[in-house]
Amino acid sequence: MSDADLSRLKVLVVDDEPKLRELVAGVVRSMGATVVEAGDGDEAWSLTESELPDLVVLDVMMPGKSGWEVCRLIKSNGKTRRGLSPKVLMLTGMGAHLNEITSPLMAADDWVDKGPFNFDLLRQKIVDLGKAALAEGVEGPSLKKARPSSSGTLVEEDAAAHDTVAEEAAAAPPAPIAAPVPEPVPTPSADPALAKTTASNKNGPNK
């Protein structure tokens, strides 16, 4: 994925250290994405609600709400411009072992450790998460409809497939109505009783 592909991406960069925040924001801007900046957890959540970022690059230790608190808020209530949950990339100084345990527990999508800070790794993870966020926006989640099953319970089915079948059925010409088939007239050979009666009539009344 080239940097030009990130031109549709909006990224919120959150860190209470201005110099580090500017460095991270500069990396994101150099990749063509739109950048919004926040200096603490409360501002981060406020901008998540108003700016609807696709990706949040989020420091953990901040005044106000911690990065973990903001991450949980984003994953439970945050929305992108496409109505999806934003991706979250945590910036931490806890070390790889704790990051691997804590980030999934807080529903973060990935993490980068600050000590030492690896900007090449940061750049790659922003590309990966940005690509995933934009792909979700294009493909979208599968919409479901509920329909009753033969047992009376509700069953989910793909709404798009359901609507396509319904549209095709509505557009199809009505099936021709078949003309009624006349019932066959019984013949003496087919009906033994009728054959006997016919023979009696030919021979006249019994004497």
pLDDT digits (tens, 9 = 90+) for 153-173: 444 444 444 444 445 555 555
How deeply is 148 buried, as exposed, middle or buried, from its count of CB atoms within 10 A (0-12, 13-18, 19+)?
A: exposed
What pairs with residue 146 in β-bridges? Answer: 156
Please tell me whether residues 62 and 152 are part of one structural domain: no
* CATH code of 71's domain: 3.40.50.2300
Please tell me whether residues 55 and 35 are part of one structural domain: yes
Please tell me whether residues 108 and 134 are part of one structural domain: yes
Please tell me whether residues 104 and 147 are part of one structural domain: no
- Does residue 198 sit within a domain? no
pLDDT tens readout for residues 181-196: 555 555 555 555 545 5
pTM: 0.64
Please tell me whether residues 47 and 131 are part of one structural domain: yes
- Does residue 160 sit within a domain? yes
Residues ≥6 apart with Cβ < 8 Å to 56: 11, 12, 14, 44, 48, 70, 71, 74, 78, 86, 87, 88, 89
